[in-house]
């Protein structure tokens, strides 16, 4: 399944919604890595799921994930994939 449609899979959408709700209920709306509180007005602070094995490296959309903010997710991507960082993503 192409990456663009993998994230639209209804099973993944439901899983993401459930995992983020569980994280917010247990730990609050805060990134577990940088401890920045989620602010819906600032996109980089939004909580999201990060795939342990990225989809571009053969990971499964329903594979293991961890909660982090978009800023940490972006930094993680650049650490794992320097080729993407050079392109200015």
Short-list 15, 17, 85, 75, CA closest to 44: 75
Name the residue with higher pLDDT: 63 or 85.
63
Give 3's pLDDT tier (boundaries 50, 70, 90). low
21-63: pLDDT as tens digits: 999 999 999 999 999 999 999 999 999 998 888 777 788 888 8
Domain ranges in the chain? 3-86
CATH number assigned to the domain covering 3-86: 3.40.1800
Share of the chain above pLDDT 90, in %: 55
User: 27 near 36, Cβ under 8 Å?
Assistant: no
DSSP state of 2: -
Give pTM, 2 decimals.
0.79
pLDDT at 84 over 70: no
What average pLDDT does the segment 54-73 reach?
A: 88
pLDDT the model gives residue 53: 82
* pLDDT (0 to 100) of residue 69: 95
């Amino acid at each position: 399944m192409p990456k663009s449609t993998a994230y639209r899979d209804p099973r993944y959408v439901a899983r993401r919604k459930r995992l983020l709700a569980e994280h917010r209920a247990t730990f609050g709306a805060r990134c577990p890595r940088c401890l920045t509180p989620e602010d819906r007005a600032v996109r980089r602070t939004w909580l999201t799921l990060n795939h342990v094995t990225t989809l571009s490296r053969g990971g499964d959309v329903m594979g293991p994930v961890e909660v982090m903010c978009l800023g940490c997710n972006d930094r993680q991507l650049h650490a794992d994939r320097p080729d993407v960082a050079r392109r200015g993503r």
